Every structure is written in C-alpha cells, then in structure tokens.
Amino acid sequence: MYKFKKFSNILSSKRFIMIASFSGLFLISVGLGLLVFYLISPKNIGSVINKVAQKSKFNLNLPKTEECPINGQKYTKPEADVWNTRRPIVQMIENHQDARPESGLSRADVVYEAVAEGGITRFAAVFYCGAVANEVKAAPLRSARVYFMNLAAGYGKNPLFLHQGGANNICSTCPGGVKPRSEIDPTVNTLTLFDKLGWQGGPKGNNLDGGYNIGFPLVVRDQYRLGSTPSAWEHAVVANLDLIWQDAQKRGFNYKDDSGVAWTQGFRKWLFQDGKTTTSSPVTNLKFNFWESMSGYDVEWKYDQAPNSYKRFNGGKEHIDWEFDKPQLSASNVVVIFVKETGPLDTEHHMFYQVIGTGKALVFQNGGVIAGTWRKATPLDREAFYDTNGKEIEMVRGATWIEVLPAGNPVTY
C-alpha cells in the first residue's frame, strides 16, 4: 500500500508531469516532422529513416579481438556474440547498369561476381560478420543461377540462400506445365539443384525466395531507393537482413539447427594473415572484362597503399554502396578465378560456369599478385587458392572479392 501511494505521488509530482509533457511533445514533434516531410517529399522519407537505422548498434571503439570465420577480419566481442547466434546469408544482388549503385555490398564479407546473361554480371554476397553493427538494406535482390548456388553451398550446412526466383522450367501455359528443353537447358535449372542440395523452400526452409516464401517487410519493392526517379520494377527489391535473420531464427536456422548441428560443420576456413604492403614492384591496379562487347561491366581495381586495400571501379566509374554515406567498394583481396564458360545454352540465353573442379587463379593482395590455382572438389566444399608450389595462399584479413572470369580472358596488371 505504501509503495503504491509513493508511486502515485511520483506520478502526480510537478517534475514528473513536466518531464512526461516535454517527452510527449518531443515524440509528437518528431512524428509530426516525419509526417510533414512525408507529405512534402514522400519519395525521400526512406532516406531519413535509413539515416537513423545506419547508426552503429555497438561501441566499435572496443578492442577488435574476434576473428570472423569467413574472411578473418577482426571485430569486437559484442559483434561476435551476435554472429555466433546466426548463420551466413548468401544473397543474389544484380549489377545491371540501371540498378547501380547497389545497397549493402560494403558490408559483405565475401562477394562473388560472374555473368548472369548477355555479359551482364551479378553478385552473390556473403553477409555474416560485417553486417552485424548496422541494420543492412541489401539491394537489388535478383534471381538465382546454379553456379552461384554451387558457390553458396560452400558456406556450411544449409546457408540462408536469399534470392528472387531463379532459372527454372516452370510454365503455366506450356504443355504439362514445363518449358521445352530448347527454352531452358536442364543444366541451368535451379529447382533441380535445390532438391539435390536439400535446400527446402516454403515457410520452414533455408531457400528464401522473395517472390515465393518471404515477403513484406523482409523484402519490399522500393522504386525510389536511388532517388525521386522511379527505377524499373525488376530493379527495386530491397532485403532487410536483420529481418531475414529474425525469420531464419523462427525457421530453426540459427548458428545451430534444431538438431544441434552448427552451420560451421564441414565449413572450410581459409588461412589468414594480417597483411603487409609489398616493398617490391607493387601492382597498383588491375583491369579485365567479362565480355569484350559489354564495356559497361568492365572492372578495374586500384590499389590504395595506406589502408592496404583495393578500390573498385565498374564500367569506368567509382563503384559505391548507396548506403552508409556511400563508400567506394573496396577489398583486401581480389581473386580472379578462370573457369570454363558454356552458353548461351537455350533460347533464354542462360550461361553456365564450371565452378566445381580446379583452374588457374590470380590472387591480388598486399599490392602484389600471386599466380596459382583454385580448387573446389564438390559444391559443399569451399574454394581455396594455392600458389605454383601447391601451398595454400593465406588471405589478408578483410573483405574478399572473387571474380569468376571465362578461361582465357586477359587480366591487365
């Protein structure tokens, strides 16, 4: 009775009423401010909210003692405590010229780039450690290809594979509901590979399809992501990675699954080094194209000695991340793997790249280059890189980009 009376006195005190009043007025004013901003400029309200969301969730001045298992970069203990409850997301992100700049790529631990169709490249971005400190919006979400799936399968048991559809033979107007072989070659049918890998869809699986089994607010179509001019419908799907991880938790895909099996079971960690700038004959930049006829997708990486990293240029322009104050994309390692290219295989112009097996590789790091080979025995193995003596190459801690080039394509450096 005494406690209740004391609490009542607090509630009725002038000081409490004043504080509550000012707090209420502040919240109302913020809400009204956002409402007015929305009424004046509805296309830009998302950027205002994003600025708030981009603030770090942690004190990033704490000692960076924890090694990311995916790329070796060091992070704080609170960040590691978060990623040790999750498993990686491997997201398909498009790179059509009309879809640039992308969102979220600067927070990926590893990025793979290869042609989708017609010389237009696409990315498979691996999000795990680098996406912890901020809320990450990753876009534009796009469809899957079998060779990207084969690369994603190297990230432990049942990674979260995030995409928006994929190459398949489903056809509602075709006899038997299936496209003819001439329209889609069986080699590139993602549905067959999903079954082979055991990646289930629906509401319980790790196969997260933005056009089928997940929706708002995990993924949304935002045609005004890049400004007041609306983008094409197909370039507009944005994924909220925090919400994806929350949904995965409900599905039972945490660091360990419902059977107690950690995603790291069978995962191959690379060897890591702290990195040190080379003192002899530095390689200041490297250039290459995927298809000679598609110069808008030519890539250049320029070495920056101070941070010991490479800055990315795409189609002759600085390649930036639209989020997080628009940083230029950079990497501690740029790896070029040369693979067999086949296609177009069908009337839908699907390509196939042989990312299982072995082939030549160039590893750019520390301002130098190491010629060697790449190896990936099965889809469930993660690729690793070796010098000409057969010794595994240590990767410099930090973001790594793996460029999947047709065998025989020149790289200038």
In this prediction, residues 13-41 reach a mean pLDDT of 41
pLDDT at res. 302:
98
Total number of residues shown for the chain: 413
228 φ/ψ angles, rounded to the nearest 5 degrees: -75, -15
In this prediction, residues 151-163 reach a mean pLDDT of 97
Q: Which helix (H) or strand (E) holds 8?
A: helix 2-12
Q: Which pair of structure tokens corresponds to residue 201?
A: 């869809």
pLDDT at res. 264:
96
pLDDT above 60 (res 49): no
pLDDT at res. 315:
98
Torsion angle of C-alpha atoms 399, 405, 409, 410, degrees rounded to 10 = 0
133/241 Cα distance (integer angstroms): 12
pLDDT at res. 4:
38
Query: Residue 297's pLDDT band (boundaries 50, 70, 90)?
Result: very high
Mean pLDDT for the chain? 90
Weakest-pLDDT range from 20-34, 178-192, 273-287: 20-34
User: What b/e readout covers 176-201, taking b as 16+ CB neighbours within 10 angstroms?
Assistant: eeebeeeebbeebbbeebbeebebeb
Position with higher pLDDT, 39 vs 169: 169
- Name residues whose C-beta falls within 8 Å of residue 99's C-beta, 6 or more positions apart in sequence: 140, 231, 235
User: What is the DSSP secondary-structure string of 373-409?
Assistant: EEEE-STTSPPEEEETTSPBPPEESS-EEEEEEETT-
Q: What is the pLDDT of residues 50-109, one digit of tens each?
A: 444 457 898 999 999 999 999 999 999 999 999 999 999 999 999 999 999 999 999 999
Residue recorded with tokens 């112009």: 349
pLDDT at res. 282:
87
pLDDT at res. 250:
96
**Nearest to 385, CA basis, from 329, 334, 331, 340:** 334
112/78 Cα distance (integer angstroms): 28
pLDDT at res. 54:
57
In this prediction, residues 367-381 reach a mean pLDDT of 98
Q: What is the pLDDT of residues 163-199, one digit of tens each?
A: 999 999 999 999 999 999 999 999 999 999 999 999 9
User: What is the DSSP secondary-structure string of 25-71?
Assistant: HHHHHHHHHHHHHHHH-TTSHHHHHHHHHTS-SS-TTS---EEPTTT
pLDDT above 70 (res 397): yes
* Three-class secondary structure of residue 342 per DSSP: strand
State percent of the chain over pLDDT 70: 87
Q: Is 239 left (phi over 0), alpha (psi -120 to 50) or beta?
A: beta
pLDDT at res. 281:
82
Angle at the Cα of 246 from the Cα atoms of 232 and 321, rounded to 5 degrees: 40
User: What is the DSSP secondary-structure string of 99-132?
Assistant: GPSPBSGGG-SEEEEEEEETTEEEEEEEESSTTS
In this prediction, residues 12-24 reach a mean pLDDT of 42
pLDDT above 80 (res 203): yes
Fill in the DSSP letter of residue 325. T
Query: Residue 280's pLDDT band (boundaries 50, 70, 90)?
Result: confident
Instruction: Give the predicted TM-score (pTM) of the model.
Output: 0.88
Q: Which amino acid is at 204?
A: K
Position with higher pLDDT, 141 vs 12: 141
Q: What is the pLDDT of residues 224-264, one digit of tens each?
A: 999 999 999 999 999 999 999 999 999 999 999 989 999 99
